[in-house]
Amino acid sequence: MAFSIRLTEDEEILARRYAALMGVSMGEAFKQALFEKIEDEYDIAVGEAAYRRYLDNPKTYSHAEVLKMFGDEE
């Protein structure tokens, strides 16, 4: 799939320089940036959900307690 985006001249210069610095094409640079952003947003959502669960039940367990509950396989 191909697509195009409109950049100002300054944005294009910056994008081309960044891609050259990273040794990738502009397309690859934009692709990497897009998927890094998606991964970051996903990580934030997962972290926020985990924090909400923690607020609902703030009980925590030590490493030793978890091993005791689930068995130490070592």
Q: Are 19 and 12 in contact (CB under 8 A)?
A: no
53 secondary structure, DSSP code: H
Does 72 score more than 80 pLDDT? no
Question: Could you read off the pLDDT of 6-64 as tens digits, one per residue?
Answer: 999 999 999 999 999 999 999 999 999 999 999 999 999 999 999 999 999 999 999 99
Q: Are 42 and 33 in contact (CB under 8 A)?
A: no
Buried b (16+ CB within 10 A) or exposed e, 14-49: ebeeebeeeeeeeeebbeeeeeeeeeeeeeeeeeee
Break the chain into its structural domains and give their ranges: 9-70
pLDDT of residue 73: 67
pLDDT of residue 1: 87
